[in-house]
Structure 1
């Protein structure tokens, strides 16, 4: 098969991947030619990373075949892929800041001479790789302190010194400004002219039109659309990305009261992850925050909850400035956060359900500063029943399903009767049945007059649960949509602006 007269260097045929009984890739076919940029698009969870990890040797497919340069290709490790000429540049850069640029480029495969490191040869080869990408910088300089764009190019130089003929770039511009992005695109064009094939994963649709030759769209583990040009209207691409029908698993939305509970004004992060964000949430309102990876959503709610510092701006609760400097201060004022990573930040896995619930409610289970086992059991049992946790208090948290672990996290905080609940990715990794019960919990909170903020990468979810939705892109607040005007396309158009 040819692609516009070019023979593909990489071909995938009927690639399937299952984790246990769940199939996450369903018969993917894909070709990439030398000197071609193929944009691989899709929502979070569409299967892009799984497919990329198969190509780069991180995971094995369950079935299907791949060919590379016309020969069978089945990398069992990333080293197998690299040795073949396939390299993946991850979104999270993996450089060692205390080492020099040259040391980072050749880490694990330093050139040796007479049993010793040949630093001169290492520097010479590193300099050649950097020059190839237009990066005029000494290979002996430490990586620490370099711009993100320069570090990105060093990762690419590292791959090129391995004679990579195919690069997989995962969200390469997520942390880059416009000038840095322009520099990266210039180097991609240079690599194309040298015959390097590129799989380019990005949520920024405008830049896809600048850099890609073809577009492949994935949804729910399937390749659903392929465009033989990047000159496609963004609306057409968005509709292909989000074209699945919405399931009827969301309770009907209640109308919130008029009184304002939470007011955020001009909030800016000292790290630049978000800036000048302002919104308010009414009593009984569910306020969704949507956006793509790197938009600053998690950092925003962590700051409101006192977990991350605030550079400028205020947080008001019921008309009073309570801008928190610590999580404890936020909790005492009535703001609680159910974090994104429940296993690392939400529950203590090797402790019991009742202990997990008690840890956040010492004043309710202790007497004169001493924990009372009887009080712990009684308090935990009441909240296990109230919030529908399937288990008994003495069970270990690590014995529970993901959905029940999430209910434990929610239960331990809701037992404090907060005014504001911040939920970061409340159903990540939870099956559909458990999701419905989480949604009922969220709507139940709103019905009790709690102001609820829901951060979610799942468009269906944020559209289904929210009275209003604030969309963020690259740390900026780009719009607030009422439930009646919000849909997959309108949110994605703002998120990819």
Structure 2
């Protein structure tokens, strides 16, 4: 068992600025049969957690926001300006990146080595017609150091990496596109506790640089340790957004089980 001090050291220090600029506004988002009238704001430098039991609609909402899933209603603003996002490419142009929870299925090319995995989302950085291999190798060197990716041989297939190193490579791959907003779904599923702490501090570093993070996690310590505010979903709706002392396990479970009596209430500041 970990004592409280050890748990606290796992997470970066947070000093949220609740007056920071709103970088993303989502209003009245619905996905047939999965999400109903979801609205929220995300501020610069914030980690906004999304909590809920399985089937609450969190992943469906995020996939609709980034254009991976069709929505039946809803609008998005980036920095106060309306934007249309109907594909991952649209999301990328808007500075939004998505770190899938399915790193083995759709996040990484398991039969290839690190280099193509790292640069796939940002190929235009490395040449329009011909790929600059030296630039790719330099980017890989930087990523290995920045994200502490440990592989005996960088030519090894990514499928042979540990879960923790796969996840760090996936995070490096997403950050290669230099997004302003990163949506991270289950960042540490199946990862050892030491690597979890590394990933938590990577997330803290992102917000220190002015990036904003939306965090989806089924792990309560992770949700409470990383998030500045926590949006709770139940039955496809956002049932509450918790701040300050309201960010606790009791309140999360109260809203997540739909017994808060606040379904459909206005939840954005």
2:147 equivalent among 387, 400, 404: 387
Partners of 2:26 and 2:40 within 8 A in 1 = yes
* CA-CA distance at 1:306 after TM superposition: 1.3
1:493/1:386 CA distance change after superposition, 3 Å: same
Query: What does residue 57 of structure 2 align with?
Result: 296
Query: What does residue 231 of structure 1 align with?
Result: none
1:401 equivalent among 152, 162, 168: 162
Which segments of structure 1 move beyond 3 Å, counting only runs of 4 or more? none
Match status 1:369 vs 2:105: no
Secondary structure of residue in 1 paired with 2:36: coil
Secondary structure of residue in 1 paired with 2:35: coil
- Looking at structure 2, the residues matched to 281 and 473 of structure 1 have their Cα atoms a distance apart, in angstroms, of 20
RMSD over equivalenced CA pairs, Å:
1.7
Unmatched segments (≥5 aa) in structure 2: 259-269
Match status 1:323 vs 2:84: yes
- Looking at structure 1, the residues matched to 25 and 237 of structure 2 have their Cα atoms a distance apart, in angstroms, of 17
Unmatched segments (≥5 aa) in structure 1: 1-219, 221-243
1:307 equivalent among 59, 63, 68: 68
Secondary structure of residue in 1 paired with 2:231: strand
Secondary structure of residue in 2 paired with 1:360: helix
- Looking at structure 2, the residues matched to 272 and 440 of structure 1 have their Cα atoms a distance apart, in angstroms, of 36
TM-score w.r.t. the length of structure 2 is 0.89
2:30 equivalent among 264, 268, 279: 268
Bigger Rg, structure 1 or 2: 1
Partners of 2:114 and 2:157 within 8 A in 1 = yes
TM-score w.r.t. the length of structure 1 is 0.49
Task: Deviation per CA, 1:373-428: give whole Å up to 9, x if none.
Answer: 22221222112222222236423211211111111111111122111100001111
Secondary structure of residue in 2 paired with 1:457: coil
Match status 1:258 vs 2:44: no
Query: What does residue 7 of structure 2 align with?
Result: 247
Partners of 1:265 and 1:314 within 8 A in 2 = yes
Secondary structure of residue in 2 paired with 1:279: strand
* CA-CA distance at 1:480 after TM superposition: 0.3
Greater RCO, CA 8 A, separation 6+: 2
Task: Deviation per CA, 1:157-200: give whole Å up to 9, x if none.
Answer: xxxxxxxxxxxxxxxxxxxxxxxxxxxxxxxxxxxxxxxxxxxx
- Looking at structure 2, the residues matched to 383 and 321 of structure 1 have their Cα atoms a distance apart, in angstroms, of 33
Query: What does residue 424 of structure 1 align with?
Result: 185
* CA-CA distance at 1:322 after TM superposition: 1.7
Task: Deviation per CA, 1:217-275: give whole Å up to 9, x if none.
Answer: xxx9xxxxxxxxxxxxxxxxxxxxxxx97922211112235111111111111x22111
Secondary structure of residue in 2 paired with 1:293: coil
* CA-CA distance at 1:472 after TM superposition: 0.2
Query: What does residue 343 of structure 1 align with?
Result: 104
Partners of 1:254 and 1:447 within 8 A in 2 = no
- Looking at structure 2, the residues matched to 342 and 254 of structure 1 have their Cα atoms a distance apart, in angstroms, of 30
Query: What does residue 414 of structure 1 align with?
Result: 175
Number of residue-to-residue matches in the alignment = 253
- Looking at structure 1, the residues matched to 148 and 97 of structure 2 have their Cα atoms a distance apart, in angstroms, of 20
Query: What does residue 454 of structure 1 align with?
Result: 215
Secondary structure of residue in 1 paired with 2:134: helix
* CA-CA distance at 1:358 after TM superposition: 1.3
